[in-house]
Structure 1
């Protein structure tokens, strides 16, 4: 049977109810992946790691974790992600996106479909209310299309309304890839009406989540998702928003990170523009058209370069090995079986791929690498401080 990396325990821990990135980070910091899983299954977690108001509430959380852990098989859950072609990367891996690794509230683990290299280049989040007007939908669609055409990757939460309209605009042309950040497992589409949009974003761009397969959406997960949207974006554009809501929360997270926040002006009598007009009153710049966003990014226009143009493509055995390498760590022996090449040929191919910046190796494991937005290797990262509970 093929070996599985220790990451499988992190995946299983992420499947626990109400775990949250903060709790997960504290468990891993205290016990390590396998030790944390053992502590959770036995119900012997240090209550102080749960961070609940009272001892009774902490005991309930630990009991629920133990019950759920008794129903989970880390090996089977890991294999399910491989079969579903869902990539898994933890924050201590060189393959972890640097733009999130340097954030002050980073995810502990990421699940994705698509290509992490699509995080290279400039990114603008286009967000807003689900209850959008025709005006807002048209503006979001135009912004998505024109930004993608200019080479700017558009980030959204793939929600109904503004988010979906922006990514529909991106997908209407051949431009920069779309990037979606969702608040559930990648097999639990929410809203269901956006199933086709999820698939298209995963095929043409990148679909990201903090939650493993099978994880349903929950109200507390959407603010956590919104902080990732803000962290990924160089500029956040709020198209339409009520006075309160997820888009306003994203704007707050963006401002806290020093990101530029722009807002689309709307009728002063329209509730759907109350939030955006407030942002403008508070000093955010207006986004009247894509040119305003490009100006905030510091460019008049950028040319989109597909990932294949950013690195010299491998050839021969190296190309064969890379094609067989999923976006999870695998043992060298697995690559021998997957490619049919001799062990020596695989080892040489892996060395070539490592020299070219395509993979990293550690103790017999091989893992794909992407590139930083600036082209720097991802293992040159700063430390991280977790905040989210």
Structure 2
């Protein structure tokens, strides 16, 4: 090796230190003080002696590369401090957020042991009236889940610092029922959750949702599945919502038009596809701008799934809702409705008319979550919880 080559090798550690310090300085001084670094810096390996190659008498003996300085000895715990901050707030715009979140690592192997986490995305209008039940559900399972809450920007409530929901509200924007602002909120939740590389499954929930099983069961079903669970089906009654505008604006034909409940459970690959879409989302948003209560939240994700030919989808949701009452909203369960029989029937797919046995890793499980449950249903849910749902 030439004398110049040895000099280059000797300055590499110094360049690494300078680059790392410069990058971390940008992060700490930028307008993104709580930003999660969307990658893990490589763990340095011990310095190894160079092979003893023949050298000329005119050249100085080869020296081993010096070990990296202590500042490069990054520990996983320190890296994770940046990856998963206590507060979910940041100062990024949606454009910046979606750009960072759309990055997908190509190397699947990790430099440290990583357990797949489930990201629970709560889309709410204000507070979380059933939060004590969810606290019991999450209790004792730190490191296996992440929580993100999108609420109305006017909401000023708070929860105790010891709550798992404390600090988990993301930068939120105004939402309206039946409007594309709901879809924008869903994408915003997904994008924030994608910044944590340990999140492998993503579940959209409302403030009226409850878990039907204990956490280990829910985690095992979701992380053990090789498909997503997104409602996407042909519904001829929904054809009245199709407009030729979609064909002109984004080549969506009536044959590709799909409907489904917006309460999804999806994997990371599909989540990246959803937040990276800058074609269909814009078309849907333009349409809703001139069509109040367009109800496109029931069509936006299901329709692009058919357009891109996504194969890894069970075409069903794992979140139960009873639409048999024939209203614009599903059945709401209050204090007097919550019984052991109700929970067991919901878990078994009562009234769904569907075969819940799929080759998708769900092992015949019909539903993991259910809605809509009123605030006054909390007490009977607490009472039934240990016997029926199995946690608490």
Q: TM-score scaled to structure 1, two decimals? A: 0.26
Q: Flag the structure with higher strand content.
A: 1
Larger radius of gyration: 2
